[in-house]
Structure 1
Amino acid sequence: MEKVVPVVTRGNALGEATAQSGDCVRRSGVSPQNTPATKIWFGQVSNEPGHRSPPHHHEHCETGGYVLKGHGRIYFGDDYQDFVDLYQGDFVFVPPFMKHVEVNMSTTDELVWLTCRTPDNLVTNFDDVPDEQLQGYRRA
């Protein structure tokens, strides 16, 4: 019988060979890209100050997030007019196929969160929308 052991991904070796959405940078810690995992993607997501993703969804995946630092906002709904704000210590659930835009609301501080998705980091990007369409968002 083959011995099964834990697989460690060091913080300085997170995988960058995963699906991306514009300025929203995803780096995997536990995923099919860098471990034997087959049913989970768990990684760190960051947005530099004032940066955001284009509209996208994660196909049939359920997504959970936890904000490590910063002020994030997720726009969704018709023309992305609805939104929820997230702060350090907050958790968020994003349902499958929900088109959304992930935003760093700060123009001075980085937004960093942990994201867990099943079964993998599936991403479908859509045509971008003008910044002005996103209520309260600004790049600088």
Structure 2
Amino acid sequence: MTETAAKPNREPVCTVLRSSTPFIGKQGFSYAPAISSETVGSRSIHMQIVTIPPGARAKAHRHEAHETAIYVLTGESGMHYGEKLEHHMVARAGDFVYIPANMPHLPYNLSDTEPCTAVISRTDPNEQESVVLMPELDRINA
């Protein structure tokens, strides 16, 4: 996984990484973490790959006190966002997406046949700690 890695609470070092074993996050998608507190001792950022399967939809959620930046590598993703998921956007391969801290959102794959893959970076070095599920919004736009 890493060429050299700092242990948390040690001095960080420059590191080359390959994404690690994917896991299913609280939101319901597959994530392949790379840069994080756990892997390199990052203190304020993480970066990973997300894959949204064809036709899949996340659970409504927000990232408490953390901003998110996304770069779409392949496919198309729709996203409902706002306090009641009242807004909508579409991002395609080559697009960048910004999600403010604490913004409720619900991403999904627009295609029934092709996955959507993106690079995600967030100001939370621990990917899943800031995820707050919002089940009361899951029924909206279903």
Is TM more than 0.5 here? yes
Runs of 4+ in 1 over 3 A off after TM superposition: 2-5
CA distance in 1, matches of 2:86, 2:11: 52
Identical amino acids, percent of aligned pairs? 26
Q: CA deviation at 1:26?
A: 2.1
Q: CA deviation at 1:8?
A: 1.9
Matched with 2:82 is 77
CA distance in 2, matches of 1:4, 1:102: 33
Matched with 2:26 is 20
Q: CA deviation at 1:15?
A: 6.0
Residue type of the partner of 2:14? Answer: P
Matched with 1:33 is 38
CA distance in 1, matches of 2:106, 2:77: 10
CA distance in 2, matches of 1:3, 1:94: 30
Q: CA deviation at 1:119?
A: 2.7
Which consecutive residues of structure 1, in runs of 5 or more, have no partner in the other structure?
none
Q: CA deviation at 1:73?
A: 1.0
Matched with 1:64 is 69
Residue type of the partner of 1:50? Answer: G
Question: Does the residue aligned with 1:49 lie in a helix, a strand or coil?
Answer: coil
Q: CA deviation at 1:29?
A: 0.8
Q: CA deviation at 1:6?
A: 2.0
Matched with 1:7 is 15
